[in-house]
């Protein structure tokens, strides 16, 4: 099945509206950090205050995401995402109001934390829905799930290019507050719509099918994969810091965000193309290949001396990012217990955010002493550790995949038995999801 055929079939199964809602619903998360930085820095006159508030949004979201995911595994996505969307929309609006009123920085930071912890991780939660959505495909389901995760990886990368760009345009043309108000409106409309979409109900079948089997959230496999995501987050943070330092030295600090966003261009292309990879190449092997590419393509950063030279290196590095993240998320969806998928995938998203903050902090401290090259050295070091982790864990992950295959076979049998016993219910669920 070609990638184009796979994506067309996914659109027929889920419906174009769902794909659009899920994409627009994840934009506020991509907008919130930069929007908060620009808003608080502008109203307080302090970049330190802006950075503190923006960092608080990121860390709070990283901490809150797996908690929300765990609750969604138990109660379903609909109530969790609906409450999160409305609370986060209110929180971002309150952040704008407090900043405009010149509220004390500690109060602004508290509001930023409340907003950040509430923003739903739409990307990971959308991934959870694809396996039940593709159940009617029968034998073609594994390839369609692969294609769905490839799309989701590309969609995440696209959102983190478009989101900050939208913030920049709104901040420059109107003011930073409007950017966050826009994010709040997107949450209220598309976050709530994503919560209310009938596809949210399909995840309940998987949860009920696995309820009889006790399961732990934290397993050795999940620790490995969460660490892998923490390392890619460090690559993001260190690369952005190095880019910012280099742009500032050249007197073009405003170009740093644009140059760094080019990382997403190659990533989106590679992510969408990954659906063409043969199924016989397992995800644990793809993780090793992608980690190798991260190391090879990040190494030239150490030799870069200008923004012009940096641009092609950043674009090339992006081609390794999405394949690595898609491999990690796909492995996670396959090795964790069926009733722990939402918690696990949101935990990975949180690990990415923490890694970003850690990478930026380490790279920033080194850049103060030695400029952009030590900052980029953090990127290369994180890529080397990611490759070492992938090589070391490859056999263990392959074993875990084989072990979990039995559980998913039981789940599939349960779903098929339910479909045979209640065909009208199953068809009704999928017709509503479309």
Q: What percent of the chain is predicted at pLDDT more than 70? A: 89
pLDDT value of residue 48:
77
pLDDT value of residue 348:
92
Asked if the model's pLDDT at residue 40 lies above 80, the reply is: yes
Q: What percent of the chain is predicted at pLDDT more than 90? A: 38
pLDDT value of residue 351:
92
Asked if the model's pLDDT at residue 415 lies above 60, the reply is: no
What residues have CB less than 8 Å from 239, skipping those under 6 apart? 260, 263, 298, 301, 314, 317, 359, 376, 379
Phi and psi, residue 214, nearest 5°: -65, 145
Asked if the model's pLDDT at residue 27 lies above 80, the reply is: yes
**CB-count exposure of residue 173 (10 Å: 0-12, 13-18, 19+):** exposed
pLDDT value of residue 50:
82
Residue 168 or residue 151, greater confidence: 151
Average pLDDT, the chain: 85
pLDDT value of residue 422:
52
pLDDT value of residue 36:
87
User: Mean of the pLDDT values across residues 46-64?
Assistant: 85
Angle at 268 between CA 58 and CA 304, to 5 degrees: 80
Tell me how far apart the alpha carbons of residues 311 and 135 are, in angstroms, rounded to a whole number. 42
* Span 198-240, pLDDT tens digits: 888 877 655 554 444 556 778 888 999 999 999 999 998 888 8
Within 303-340, residue ranges assigned H as helices are 307-335
* Span 92-145, pLDDT tens digits: 999 999 999 999 999 999 999 999 999 999 988 998 898 888 888 777 888 888
Domain ranges, ordered by start, for the chain:
17-433
- For residues 22-51, b (16+ Cβ closer than 10 Å) or e, as one string? bbbbbbbbbbbbbbbbbbbbbbbeeeebbb
pLDDT value of residue 248:
79
User: Mean of the pLDDT values across residues 30-46?
Assistant: 84
Tell me how far apart the alpha carbons of residues 336 and 345 are, in angstroms, rounded to a whole number. 10
pLDDT value of residue 412:
55
The alpha-carbon radius of gyration of the chain (Å, integer) is 21
| Joined tokens for residue 29 | 């998360």
Within 139-175, residue ranges assigned H as helices are 141-173
Tell me how far apart the alpha carbons of residues 147 and 7 are, in angstroms, rounded to a whole number. 7
* Span 328-358, pLDDT tens digits: 998 998 888 877 888 889 899 889 988 988 8
pLDDT value of residue 204:
61
| The CATH number of the domain covering residues in 17-433 | 1.20.1250.20
> Is residue 301 a contact partner of residue 379, using CB atoms and an 8 Å limit?
yes
180: confidence class by pLDDT, cuts 50, 70, 90: very high
Asked if the model's pLDDT at residue 398 lies above 70, the reply is: yes
> Is residue 24 a contact partner of residue 159, using CB atoms and an 8 Å limit?
no
pLDDT value of residue 303:
94
Within 13 Å, how many C-alpha atoms sit on residue 171's CB side?
A: 23
Phi and psi, residue 336, nearest 5°: -90, 165
Instruction: Write down the residue that tokens 């056999």 correspond to.
Output: 395
Tell me how far apart the alpha carbons of residues 74 and 341 are, in angstroms, rounded to a whole number. 11
pLDDT value of residue 141:
82
Residue 424 or residue 381, greater confidence: 381
* Span 246-264, pLDDT tens digits: 887 888 766 777 787 788 8
Residue 404 or residue 364, greater confidence: 364
Helices first, then strands: H and E counts in the chain:
18, 0
Residue 303 or residue 273, greater confidence: 303
Tell me how far apart the alpha carbons of residues 9 and 374 are, in angstroms, rounded to a whole number. 46
Asked if the model's pLDDT at residue 431 lies above 60, the reply is: no
């Amino acid at each position: 099945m070609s990638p184009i055929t796979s994506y067309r079939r996914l659109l027929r199964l889920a419906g174009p509206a769902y794909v659009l809602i899920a994409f627009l619903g994840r934009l506020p998360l991509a907008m919130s950090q930069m929007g908060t930085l620009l808003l608080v820095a502008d109203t307080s006159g302090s970049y330190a205050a802006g950075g503190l508030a923006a960092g608080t949004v990121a860390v709070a979201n990283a901490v809150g995401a797996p908690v929300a995911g765990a609750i969604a595994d138990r109660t379903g996505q609909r109530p969790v995402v609906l409450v999160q969307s409305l609370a986060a929309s209110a929180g971002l609006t309150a952040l704008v109001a407090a900043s405009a009123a010149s509220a004390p920085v500690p109060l602004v930071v508290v509001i930023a934390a409340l907003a950040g912890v509430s923003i739903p991780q739409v990307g990971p939660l959308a991934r959870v829905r694809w396996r039940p959505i593709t159940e009617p495909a029968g034998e073609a389901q594994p390839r369609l799930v692969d294609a769905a995760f490839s799309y989701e990886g590309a969609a995440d990368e696209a959102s983190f290019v478009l989101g900050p760009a939208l913030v920049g345009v709104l901040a420059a043309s109107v003011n930073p507050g409007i950017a966050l108000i826009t994010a709040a409106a997107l949450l209220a409309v598309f976050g709530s719509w994503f919560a209310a979409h009938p596809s949210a109900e399909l995840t309940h079948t998987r949860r009920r099918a696995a309820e009889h089997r006790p399961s732990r959230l934290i397993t050795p496999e999940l620790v490995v994969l969460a660490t892998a995501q923490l390392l890619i987050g460090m690559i993001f943070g260190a690369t952005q810091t190095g880019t910012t330092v280099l742009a500032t030295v050249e007197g073009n600090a405003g170009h740093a965000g644009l140059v760094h966003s080019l990382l997403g261009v190659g990533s989106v292309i590679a992510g969408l193309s990954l659906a063409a990879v043969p199924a016989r190449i397992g995800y644990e092997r793809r993780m090793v290949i992608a980690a190798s590419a991260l190391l090879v393509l990040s190494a030239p950063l150490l030799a870069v001396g200008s923004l012009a030279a940096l641009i092609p290196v950043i674009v090339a590095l992006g081609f390794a990012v999405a394949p690595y993240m898609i491999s990690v998320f796909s492995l996670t969806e396959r090795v964790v217990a069926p009733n722990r998928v939402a918690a696990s995938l949101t935990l990975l998203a949180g690990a990415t955010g923490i890694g970003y903050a850690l990478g930026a902090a380490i790279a920033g401290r080194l850049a103060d002493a030695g400029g952009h090259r030590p900052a980029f050295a953090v990127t290369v070091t994180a890529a080397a550790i990611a490759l070492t982790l992938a090589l070391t864990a490859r056999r263990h992950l392959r074993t875990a995949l084989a072990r979990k295959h039995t559980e998913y076979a039981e789940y599939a049998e349960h779903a098929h038995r339910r479909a045979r016993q209640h065909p009208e219910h199953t068809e009704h669920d999928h017709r509503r999801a479309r």
